[in-house]
Amino acid sequence: QSAVSVPRDFEGCSTLRKYFGQLHYLQSRIPMGAEQEAAVPVAWTEIFSGKTVTHEDIKYEQACVLYNLGALHSMLGAMDKRVSEECAAGAFTYLRDHFPHSYSVDMSHQILSLNINLMLGQAQECLLEKSMLDNRKSFLVARISAQVVDYYKEACRALENSETASLLGKIQKDWKKLVQMKIYYFAAVAHHPVLPEALGTRGSRFLERTQATQGPAPLGASSGSRECRPLLTAAAPLRLSRYNSAKKDNDFIYHEAVPALDTLQSVKGAPLVKALPVNPTDPAVTGPDIFAKLVPMAAHEASSLYSEEKAKLLRDVMAKIEAKNEVLDQFMDSMQLDPESVDNLEMYSHVPPALMEKCAALSVRPDTVKNLEKQVLQNLKRILGKVQEMRDQRASLEQQLREMIQKDDITASLVTADRSEMKKLFEEQLKKYDQIKVYLEQNLAAQENVLKALTDANVKYAAVRKALAEVEHKWNTTVQTLVASYEAYEDLMKKSQEGKDFYTDLEGKAAKLLEKARAACRAAEASRQQLLER
């Protein structure tokens, strides 16, 4: 009900857009198209004939709502300030490109093309006026005006169509005269501003062209365009004055031949206006899908097909990644290069105290060992760092791809999409993975160059590796010898302490035995003395 009797304001445009969007959501779930099971009669009044036209097709309802949206936009545009480059052509363009033209004569291809170019032309006019008020560059003004002419020429072609003429009747002649007048007038406007920039003061050739182009226009069109007469009346003296001034300058100063009209280069138009877009699935415009819980089986099937497309994409990418990773692993194994052990010079920075005497000769040269073929080591470490960086980036991109695929659910889009457009929709949706696929391809392609550089660096590192291996062997042997010496020392000290403890204990026992022996002797001596006294 709201869409049938909308208020003539921007709220009305919003209502029409919402209704149009919800119709789109509905027709993708319920078979309400022509000759389908749930089709119902839809009746609207034709704009020109006033006849009621009925079709059992929900698309006819959408088409009529879209036509009314374009009409309401054009009405609001006529009432609005002439400063915007947006126009009502978007609704008519979407209607022409996405719906049948056989519903009614006011939706024929010619009528819609007429509406589109009239809307674009008038919007370009508004932009032209604003450019002139803002004192934009003359050549830009000329190109904007030339585009106005191009739009009105297309509208005039539609008006000259026999079907359009019979449909519009008398107003076709009036519209045609007005459009032709605008073509002549804006062609003249396009030629006037280019004088200073194109030819300096030598502008007679362009004014000659303007005179020839603009001359007959007011007489041919003004009879049907009374509101334009003041504008044309004011423009005529200006045109004549500029023409006479340029002609006088040429006659008395420059003396240049005026070229033929058909040899002059035409001014190319600059289309700067934009049609208000129509997107029936934009939730910001149509509001939430009130039929969101109704998901047809076909949409589930299409979603499964899309999931298979995503899986195929992931399989293709993973096959490439695994192949490259296998090559990389085999290569690194064959090189026997461990980033952790390539540079083992740090072990030389801490010398055990027992070796300080042996290192005294090197104490004044602390960097002697670190400086052996140092550049080769740095280069190798840098390339090994690149290898690890390549691995990390590859793993990160793979994880991003998996997460994107995991979150990618286009069921809502599949519900409202035409089955004939499924393949195209899949292709468009899969384009979101193009960027990350490019990054992965670049990463995989870089592996060959990195491995080549690593091979070259490893060749140069061979002599250093051999020397370091020998030094490391000697170092380890020496350290092991010192460790063994320390352990032998500890064992000796332990056994010596045990021997000392044994003899200390033995000494104590012997002292006790001696004391007992002395006591026994003293007792025996005392007994002997007693016997002698008796």
Least confident of 97-101, 190-194, 524-528: 190-194
- Supply the CATH number for residue 440's domain: 1.20.120.560
Residue 97 lies in a domain: yes
Q: Are 384 and 342 in contact (CB under 8 A)?
A: yes
Pick from 55-64, 201-210, 364-373, 525-534 the range whose average pLDDT is largest.
55-64
Residue 3 lies in a domain: no
Which residues 6+ apart lie within 8 Å of 468 measured at CB?
A: 344
Examine the domain organization and report whether 201 and 319 are in the same domain.
Answer: no
Mean pLDDT of the chain, nearest integer: 82
pLDDT-derived band at 163, boundaries 50, 70, 90: confident
Per-state percent for the chain, helix, strand, coil, to nearest 5: 75, 0, 25
Average pLDDT (321-341) is 81
Domain residues for 57?
10-194+267-286
Given a cut of 50, is residue 464 above it in pLDDT? yes
Q: Residue 235 CB: number of other CB atoms within 10 A?
A: 17
CA–CA dist 307, 245 (Å, integer): 73
Given a cut of 80, is residue 154 above it in pLDDT? yes
pLDDT for the residue 205: 38
Q: Last residue of some domain: 255, 286, 317?
A: 286
Examine the domain organization and report whether 238 and 356 are in the same domain.
Answer: no
CA–CA dist 275, 154 (Å, integer): 16
Which residues 6+ apart lie within 8 Å of 34 measured at CB?
A: 55, 56, 57, 59
What percentage of the chain exceeds 90 in pLDDT? Answer: 32
pLDDT for the residue 196: 38
pLDDT for the residue 219: 34
415-456 per-position pLDDT tens digit:
877 777 888 888 889 999 999 999 999 999 999 998 888 888
Examine the domain organization and report whether 33 and 171 are in the same domain.
Answer: yes
Examine the domain organization and report whether 231 and 328 are in the same domain.
Answer: no
Examine the domain organization and report whether 279 and 224 are in the same domain.
Answer: no
Residue 530 lies in a domain: no
Examine the domain organization and report whether 313 and 458 are in the same domain.
Answer: yes
Examine the domain organization and report whether 358 and 491 are in the same domain.
Answer: yes
CA–CA dist 409, 289 (Å, integer): 16
Examine the domain organization and report whether 253 and 273 are in the same domain.
Answer: no
pLDDT for the residue 377: 76
Instruction: Tell me 251's DSSP state.
Output: I
Examine the domain organization and report whether 392 and 415 are in the same domain.
Answer: yes
6-52 per-position pLDDT tens digit:
999 989 999 999 999 999 999 888 889 899 999 999 999 988 888 89
Examine the domain organization and report whether 233 and 271 are in the same domain.
Answer: no
Given a cut of 50, is residue 209 above it in pLDDT? no
Residue 215 lies in a domain: yes
Residue 157 lies in a domain: yes
Examine the domain organization and report whether 127 and 57 are in the same domain.
Answer: yes
- Supply the CATH number for residue 118's domain: 1.25.40.280
Quote the strand ranges of 393-501, DSSP E: none
Q: Last residue of some domain: 286, 315, 342?
A: 286
Average pLDDT (232-252) is 76
Residue 328 lies in a domain: yes
Quote the strand ranges of 89-155, DSSP E: none
Residue 1 lies in a domain: no
Given a cut of 50, is residue 244 above it in pLDDT? yes
Q: Last residue of some domain: 236, 251, 286?
A: 286
Residue 518 lies in a domain: no
CA–CA dist 380, 213 (Å, integer): 77
Examine the domain organization and report whether 277 and 256 are in the same domain.
Answer: no
Higher pLDDT, 336 or 228: 336
- How many structural domains does the chain have? 3
340-393 per-position pLDDT tens digit:
666 665 665 665 666 666 666 556 666 655 555 767 778 888 888 888 999 999
Q: Are 444 and 321 in contact (CB under 8 A)?
A: yes
